[in-house]
Chain A
């Protein structure tokens, strides 16, 4: 086995542009793993990177972590700011903490795992192109309003760990026209947005998402057996053409 080259970068007091330049230089230098220490609010980490590098982030990265990213795996030992996984193509973000608003905004592929909670508009306008590049967002805790709004594809899964009800905020899946939102336990009808519809979660659904649950639990050292049942609510589009009946031609 070829030994993977590891590069350590101290991010203390460095602006994001030179920090990202250092990351690119380390990749060009053949690093397979990059460890960033003392990260404090630097935005755009991993942005536009195409190699399969593993980036460990010790600290709190700033907004748009992994934006336009296509390949890398980023492990964050801390919370993340707004929009991690924004317009991400492939790769993975694992966040050992919570994240802000617009998590996985317009994500087309790859996975985003958040151990705790996320803010508003999580998974908004997530989309899917080819079957093999299905984008997946999993949230261990809860999510605020407009989860999966305008969603056009992919999977959003909310486990509600430590919460009485997984979600208590409104506007879930408003304008959804593709993909699915799966939420642990019951979801009150009034929380659903326009165009979103509840479906019964059955055994075949469980079979489909079991690998995702197992993978999430592995990352955060949780017992997946506790989640492998059909106590979920599946929310999907009422129609794939939510606006078809709104317009008439001149």
Chain B
């Protein structure tokens, strides 16, 4: 091979003075970095993914991992990554796949938006003393209410209300399928959303029996492969989501390799054991907005109009008019997934180059819906790269009703964002179907961690709102006056409809 090998990504070291030779690093590393030869633990750095499982489990803090131990000649254009991708494709002639979300160092708009707080002229609110209203309803809202007086003099609501989901906090967990992630991860998150009064998505992997007790808190997904979809599945969910696209790979389908389709995954997706699960790029019964209407109404007819139907789209250039079309299609919520959205596996060229940031997508969708007077027809859920309660508060101020989190929830379960989700070897028991690895997550303990994250963000959101003198999430929604842009250009400020800091 004239190309030779590329330098290892990480160098692993053991401080032999600290090491007590317990072997936990060997047991914990599913990538095979460590092995014992006679009385010594040997290291194969090239196999390391920096998942940090060994570091977390080492009782003596004896392990160090260094990134990029060998330097290339530095070059601003021909970066290490670019050079290595070319070498990879020179070897293979194939499309490069990668795990997790967009890994390019592009500016993050959230970090250039600043929140407001009250000083002197209007008092801030202390959430300790005053109730903060975070309850959020996802679904259609009537444009007006019609009331009727009964004979006894009471007032009755005459308007028929569409079914809505009631959230105690505007944080939901987005769709990650059973198959892509383990059953114990799903169980942990399902228990957590049940405890915190919110919802999670099932992804396109069907609904495992073990999740039935939490079905009232689950949004079931119908994607182009229709895996696991039957009438029983649709009836179990609290809501149904049609997945049109995904922020990590807009415009293309999905592909669960046969290796991950074990007995349980096969049963839940209703596909044969060991077969590839291929989701086509489009839904082949949706080639137009009229066809989308037909699928939405088909799902509603099948479930007797009892459940809200969401439509999830990737944030792409024309996201606003597309969302306006969806708002007119009988859908109850539109989910917009920004280009930083995560995934188990996506072609790298898509992950890093296709789509637009969630911040601008939320702002332009909210604006378009308000311009057309149909904002009440549909809820807007932002997703794809929501990292903190600050991102959450800014998303709502830009016009979202709620957010989906994905990677953040996985990090609360142990994920260290090593990006090797597709290998079925996840040492944290998340992106794997291997029983010994999956059992590293205790669903009861995992549920506490995920719930803690949601609770922590909820507390912080209350504080941020209180500081801004806002005591209801409704008053924050679309309230762009409480945002200021910092080092954003004029064009961007215009799209976001936000003033620059100081103005």
Contact B298 A43 (CB under 8 A): yes
Which of B72-80, B163-171, B225-233, B466-474 makes up part of the contact surface? Answer: B225-233
Number of A-B contacts (CB under 8 A): 134
State the A residues within 8 Å of B (CB): 16-17, 20, 24, 43-44, 47-48, 50, 63-64, 67-70, 82-83, 86-87, 89, 102, 105-106, 108, 121, 124-125, 127-129, 149-150, 152-153, 175, 177-178, 240-250
Question: A47, A86, A243: which contacts B285 (Cβ < 8 A)?
Answer: A86
Question: Do A44 and B95 have beta carbons less than 8 Å apart?
Answer: no
- The chain B residues found within 8 Å of chain A, CB to CB, are 85, 88-89, 91-92, 94-99, 224-226, 229-232, 234-235, 255, 257-258, 266, 270-272, 275-276, 278, 280, 284-285, 294, 297-298, 301-305, 347-348, 419, 422-423
Complex contact A129–B271 (CB within 8 A): yes
- Interchain CB contact (< 8 A) of B422 among A83, A177, A243, A249: A249
CB pair B301 A105 closer than 8 Å:
no
Q: Which of B230, B280, B305, B422 has the most CB of A within 10 A?
A: B230
Q: Interface SS of chain B: helix, strand, loop or mixed?
A: mixed
CB–CB A86/B280 < 8 A: no
CA distance A70 to B266 in the complex (A): 20
**CB < 8 Å: which of B96, B258, B301 contacts A47?**
B301
Contact between chains at A245 and B270 (CB < 8 Å) = no
Chain B: minimal CB distance from A133 (Å): 9
Indicate which residue in A44, A47, A64, A177 contacts B278 across the interface (CB closer than 8 Å). A177
Expressed in whole angstroms, the minimum distance between the Cβ of A161 and any Cβ of chain B is 26
Known: A89-B230, A178-B272. A245 touches B298 (CB 8 A): no
In whole angstroms, how far apart are the Cα atoms of A246 and B270 in the complex?
A: 25
Judge whether B276 and A177 touch: CB under 8 Å. yes
- Between A and B, 11 residue pairs with Cβ closer than 8 Å are A48-B234, A48-B235, A48-B304, A50-B231, A68-B234, A105-B284, A152-B271, A240-B276, A241-B276, A248-B89, A248-B96
> Which residues on the A side are within 8 Å of B257 (C-beta)?
244
A67 & B302 in contact (Cβ 8 Å cutoff): yes
Q: In the complex, which of the residues B92, B99, B266, B285 contacts A248, with contact meaning CB atoms closer than 8 Å? A: B92
Q: Which residues of B contact A47 (CB under 8 A)?
A: 298, 301-302
- Most chain-A CB neighbours within 10 Å: which of B234, B271, B423? B271
Question: In the complex, what distance in Å separates the CA atom of A130 from the CA atom of B272?
Answer: 7
Across the interface, do B294 and A64 meet the contact criterion of CB distance under 8 Å? yes
Question: Contact: B272 with A64, CB < 8 Å?
Answer: no
Q: A68-B302, A247-B94 in contact; A125/B226 too (CB < 8 A)?
A: yes
The verdict on A44 contacting B271 (CB below 8 Å), with A68-B234, A89-B230, A152-B278 known, is no
